[in-house]
């Protein structure tokens, strides 16, 4: 960075000096070429007469020219052409009160003056054109560099990342260790005729550490790491993306063994389609060049291509076939033990007091990615510093977790008493229905303090990690989601429902539609799935890949799920009206209740028989 600033400053100084010289030359030329004021003509006889009468102060003779300065003037104002003979021979008295000076201009001086007058402008133009050509050359170089790859290179001089700094995903790390081993000792594999994968695709949810793992491979193997985003290949100019691909692979070959890492590869490697034109053609040219490069370079070069995506379904099949991305590695969301390891990594260099329970925090953060956990650690330090703590305490960590998960508290937002009461009933409705349903996650916290974009929050946390969700669990989630509006309707009637349930209804509708269209959980459409659109976001044909009658049936199934969920919520709240009032009063008094407070208030809450799900 310092070297770059030094070069930039030097370039600026050179430009200032250059333009300074140009200005000086131009100024000199204008001073030389500046025309003198024209002198009036005067006959030699008149000059002699005036000189003899004392009206002339000086006569300057240069060859045949006379320049006359009058008595009261400082500069010549008249000129004459000398006739044959000297001026004295033409009648000037020797004792006349005038100063006569004679200057003989040499031929060399005259020639030199002419050369300067003619040469200085020419020299200035030559220097100017040299500068313009140099600038054009730089612009041409910039244009040539337009097609060069913009990859960031992490070599041995950069900070090295190893697998010790990447917690969790042990199975993924084990697969990647084989890549490391090949880069370190390729002869061991070649001796047995083994072909090492040319490409490794890391796929997983955002924030799971795909890029970090790729850098760890380079760090462990101690090889150059060329990192570039898929979007950096894409340009509006035809052929630029393909040119950058060629340049990137050429650089990697020169530095082999090396790793090329393409982040968000789906930006440039989407499935090719029959629809062409514009950016589509340019993307396909770039993808074709990637396919050629991956299939063209030999294993002996020691170049391995790694790529990351969270949308494998969007990638072109030609990219995923053997010989290109041979190995697909799942980088999954961390489990509880892995979350604890990740939290330990991120809290390792932070001052933490004895009250912090990272194991408990790992249990609460089911479904969180490594990036989420890193954010929690960072927010904990920020909160502790803001409050003036010398060490990070457990309350700082809990507050950071809640801020990351459900948004910061907005205590500055003022609600009137009617809104506070309505919000309390709404959140109490969610809590009661979720508390009594057997397949619902337990209540973790309720608050009527606005957080993030919501006016209040009822927060459910799973007691353990889950890989699958049953239809009964989905239906219980739908019922507790509809319970906020059900509580408003129970207390205030149909005319008292508010816009506070808008987000709940949106999420419930999305979940119901997913159950029918993606999970095959409908009654009349069992075990059938119906894609919303093709991978490019548009229907491949002129119409949906299912009939209008099927679309109507899907709508009916979704509406039935939501209607049944609302009916269950209504029945549960009607059977627990007294508990609804008690929980509402506790929320208005304390504003925030934790899981123990909720369990104490709802210890008599029950699930009515009519609201139970049938097997």
Cα dihedral value 52, 57, 61, 66, nearest 10: -80
Inter-CA distances, 394 with 76, 170, 380, 595, Å: 97, 28, 9, 17
Active-site residue, selected from the candidate residues 220, 282, 399, 427: 427
Any residues with CB less than 8 A from the CB of 2 and at least 6 apart, and which?
A: none
In the β-sheet with 443-447, what is the strand arrangement from edge to edge? 457-460, 443-447, 592-594
Query: Would strands 99-102 and 78-81 be described as parallel, antiparallel, or unpaired?
Result: unpaired
Inter-CA distances, 37 with 31, 47, 79, 242, 578, Å: 14, 20, 12, 67, 110
Residue 438: phi and psi, rounded to 5, are: -70, -25
Distance between CA atoms of residues 471 and 212, nearest Å: 36
* Cβ count near 444 (within 10 Å): 18
Inter-CA distances, 214 with 170, 260, 307, 511, Å: 14, 9, 8, 34
Has 591 been annotated as catalytic? Answer: no
Helices (H) and strands (E) in the chain, counts: 19, 14
Any residues with CB less than 8 A from the CB of 406 and at least 6 apart, and which?
A: 451, 452, 454, 457, 459
| Degrees, nearest 5: CA angle 537-541-546 | 90
Any residues with CB less than 8 A from the CB of 144 and at least 6 apart, and which?
A: none
> For the purposes of burial, counting CB atoms within 10 Å of the CB of 192, is it exposed (0-12), middle (13-18) or buried (19 or more)?
exposed
> For the purposes of burial, counting CB atoms within 10 Å of the CB of 70, is it exposed (0-12), middle (13-18) or buried (19 or more)?
middle
CB 149 within 8 A of CB 251: yes
* Rg from Cα positions in the chain: 43
Distance between CA atoms of residues 439 and 469, nearest Å: 10
DSSP letter at 72 equals T
Q: Point out which residues pair with 442 in neighbouring strands.
A: none
**Catalytic machinery residues:** 427
């Amino acid at each position: 960075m310092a070297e770059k600033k030094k070069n930039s400053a030097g370039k600026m100084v050179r430009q200032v000096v250059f333009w300074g010289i140009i200005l000086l030359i131009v100024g000199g030329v204008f001073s030389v070429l500046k025309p003198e004021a024209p002198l009036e003509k005067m006959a030699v006889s008149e000059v002699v007469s005036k000189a003899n009468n004392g009206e002339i102060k000086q006569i300057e003779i240069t060859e045949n020219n006379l320049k006359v300065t009058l008595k009261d003037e400082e500069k010549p104002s008249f000129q004459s052409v000398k006739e044959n003979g000297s001026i004295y021979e033409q009648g000037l008295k020797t004792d006349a009160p005038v100063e006569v000076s004679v200057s003989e201009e040499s031929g060399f001086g005259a020639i030199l003056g002419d050369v300067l007058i003619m040469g200085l402008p020419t020299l200035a133009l030559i220097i100017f054109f040299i500068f313009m050509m140099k600038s054009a050359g730089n612009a041409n170089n910039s244009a040539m560099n337009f097609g060069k790859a913009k990859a960031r290179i992490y070599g041995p001089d950069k900070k090295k990342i190893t697998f010790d700094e990447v917690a969790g995903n042990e199975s993924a790390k084990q697969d990647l260790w084989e890549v490391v081993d090949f880069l370190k000792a390729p002869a061991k594999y070649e001796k047995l005729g083994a072909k090492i994968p040319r490409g490794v695709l890391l796929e997983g949810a955002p924030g799971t550490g795909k890029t970090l793992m790729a850098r760890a491979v380079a760090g462990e193997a101690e090889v150059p790491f060329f990192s570039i985003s898929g979007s950096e290949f894409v340009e509006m100019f035809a052929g630029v993306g393909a040119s950058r691909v060629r340049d990137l692979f050429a650089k990697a070959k020169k530095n082999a063994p090396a790793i090329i890492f393409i982040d968000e590869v789906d930006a440039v490697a989407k499935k090719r389609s029959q629809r062409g034109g514009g950016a589509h053609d340019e993307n396909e040219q770039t993808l074709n060049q990637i396919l050629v490069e991956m299939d063209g370079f030999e294993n002996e070069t020691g170049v391995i291509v790694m790529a990351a995506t969270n949308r494998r379904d969007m990638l072109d099949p030609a990219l995923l076939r053997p010989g290109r991305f041979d190995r697909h590695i799942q980088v999954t969301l961390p489990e509880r033990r892995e979350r604890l390891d990740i939290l330990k990594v991120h809290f390792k260099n932070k001052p933490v007091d004895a009250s912090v329970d990272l194991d408990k925090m790992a249990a609460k953060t089911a479904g969180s990615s490594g990036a989420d956990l890193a954010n929690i650690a960072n927010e904990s330090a920020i909160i502790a510093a803001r409050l003036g703590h010398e060490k990070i305490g457990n309350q700082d960590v809990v507050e950071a977790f809640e801020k990351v998960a459900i948004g910061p508290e907005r205590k500055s937002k003022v609600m009137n008493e009617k809104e506070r009461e309505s919000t309390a009933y709404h959140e109490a409705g969610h809590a009661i229905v979720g508390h009594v349903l057997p397949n619902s996650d337990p209540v973790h916290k309720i608050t009527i303090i606005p957080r993030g974009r919501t006016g209040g929050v009822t927060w459910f946390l799973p007691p353990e990690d889950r890989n699958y969700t049953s239809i009964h669990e989905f239906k219980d989630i739908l019922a507790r989601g509809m319970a906020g509006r059900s509580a408003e309707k129970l207390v205030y009637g149909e005319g008292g429902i508010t816009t506070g349930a808008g987000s709940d209804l949106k999420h419930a509708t999305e979940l119901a539609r997913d159950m029918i269209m993606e999970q095959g959980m409908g009654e009349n459409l069992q075990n059938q799935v119906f894609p919303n659109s093709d991978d490019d976001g548009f229907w491949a044909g002129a119409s949906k890949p299912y009939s209008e009658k099927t679309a109507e049936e899907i709508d009916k199934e979704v509406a039935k799920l939501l209607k049944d969920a609302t009916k269950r919520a209504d029945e549960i709240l009607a059977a627990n009206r007294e508990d609804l009032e008690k929980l509402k009063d506790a929320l208005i008094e304390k504003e925030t209740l934790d899981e123990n407070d909720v369990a104490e208030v709802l210890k008599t809450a029950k699930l009515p028989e009519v609201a139970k799900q049938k097997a």
